[in-house]
Amino acid sequence: MLVAGGTSGIGLAVARAFANEGATVVVCGSGQAGVDAVSGAPGLVARVCDVTDRAAVAELFGWVTAEYGGLDILVNSAGLNVGNRMMANIAPEDFDRVLAVNTTGVFNCIHAALPGMRSRGEGLIVNVVSLAGRRVMELAGLPYCVSKFATSALGTFVGIEEAKNGIRVTNVYPGETNTPLVDKRPTPTPPEKRAQMVQPEDIAECVVMVAKLPARAVVPELIITPPHMMVG
- The CATH number of whichever domain residue 25 belongs to comes to 3.40.50.720
Query: Between residues 8 and 180, which one has the greater pLDDT?
Result: 8
Write down the pTM of the prediction. 0.95
Give the count of domains, the chain: 1
Contact 4, 61 (CB under 8 A): no
Q: What single string gives the DSSP state of each residue in 166-203?
A: TEEEEEEEE-SB-SGGGGGSSSPPPHHHHHTSBPHHHH
**Which residue segment(s) compose the domain that 113 sits in?**
2-229
Question: Helix, strand or coil for residue 191?
Answer: helix
User: What pLDDT does residue 81 have?
Assistant: 96
Cα angle for residues 150, 103, 74 (degrees, 5° grid): 110
Q: Which of 61, 95, 144, 173 is catalytic?
A: 144
User: What pLDDT does residue 188 have?
Assistant: 82
Position 49: which residue type? C
Contact 189, 177 (CB under 8 A): no
pLDDT over 80 at 189, yes or no = yes
DSSP 223: E
DSSP 189: P
Q: Quick one: which H or E segment has residue 45?
A: strand 44-48
Taking the C-alpha atoms of residue 167 and residue 173, their distance in angstroms, rounded to an integer, is 20
User: What pLDDT does residue 183 have?
Assistant: 85
Q: What is the pLDDT of residues 88-115, one digit of tens each?
A: 999 999 999 999 999 999 999 999 999 9
User: What pLDDT does residue 19 have?
Assistant: 97
User: What pLDDT does residue 40 have?
Assistant: 84
pLDDT over 90 at 232, yes or no = no
Q: What is the pLDDT of residues 134-188, one digit of tens each?
A: 999 999 999 999 999 999 999 999 999 999 999 999 999 999 999 988 888 888 8
Establish whether 144 is a catalytic residue.
Answer: yes
Contact 207, 14 (CB under 8 A): yes
User: What pLDDT does residue 231 have?
Assistant: 82
Q: Which residues contact 179 (CB under 8 A, 6 or more apart)?
A: 8, 9, 10, 200
Contact 131, 174 (CB under 8 A): yes
User: What pLDDT does residue 121 have?
Assistant: 97
User: What pLDDT does residue 181 have?
Assistant: 85
